[in-house]
Structure formats: C-alpha cells, structure tokens
Amino acid sequence: QVQLVQSGGGSVQPGGSLRLSCAASGFMFRIAVMDWYRQAPGQQRELVASITSGGATNYADSVKGRFTISRDNVKNTVYLAMNSLKPEDTAVYYCHTKRPNDYWGRGTQVTVSS
C-alpha cells in the first residue's frame, strides 16, 4: 500500500534552516507529482511546493526564494529544504501525492520561534 514516511522538522530560531524528508513506497514514485502542504493552528491546509516527475517545481508565493523542493528517484524520497525561516512558517508540514486518491504523510511539526 502507499506509504509516505516523513522525517526532519523541529524547532529553530528565525532565520534558521531545516530540511524535511518524505520516503515513499507502494507506488511508482518516479512518475508521481509530489507535494508539501502545511497547516498552521486555526488555518486551512495550504500547498507549499510541488515537484513533477520531470523535476519542474512550483511554490507558494510566501516561500519562494526560501524553500526548495527536490526529489531522489533512486531513494524514492522527496525533500523540502527550508531556509530563512520565519515565525509564520510555523505549522505541521505534510507530504502528499495523488495516485489517484490523496495520500498523506503523518505530518511533521516545524516551529520557528526566538
């Protein structure tokens, strides 16, 4: 079955960096569009970044220039490198794919605070 196992995250001061990983299994990862979403307390879940099978990327305006999504089709893993983190980046981050149903990772807390 489809599994998305997340790792990374944690707490960091403003301006710091973190990297999230999502190891995928149970489907043909190399042809899948992979996404990262986030959900802050009291907010709707929002799309942060996407990457196609060919490596094309798309970002929310709020993270452009600071976050980088990438993938390793040998390791079946998608990454989200987050730099210049701000307090408003604080949220639970979720890995996602649609195959064709929606599949989600369990979520990883990212807290940006001084």
Q: Confidence class of residue 100 from pLDDT cuts 50, 70 and 90?
A: confident
Q: What is the mean pLDDT of the chain?
A: 97
Tens digit of each residue's pLDDT (9 = 90 or more) over 14-44: 999 999 999 999 999 999 999 999 999 999 9
Smallest CA-to-CA distance from 93 within 103, 107, 105 is with 107
What is the predicted pLDDT for the residue at 85? 98
Q: Which residues contact 111 (CB under 8 A, 6 or more apart)?
A: 10, 11, 12, 90
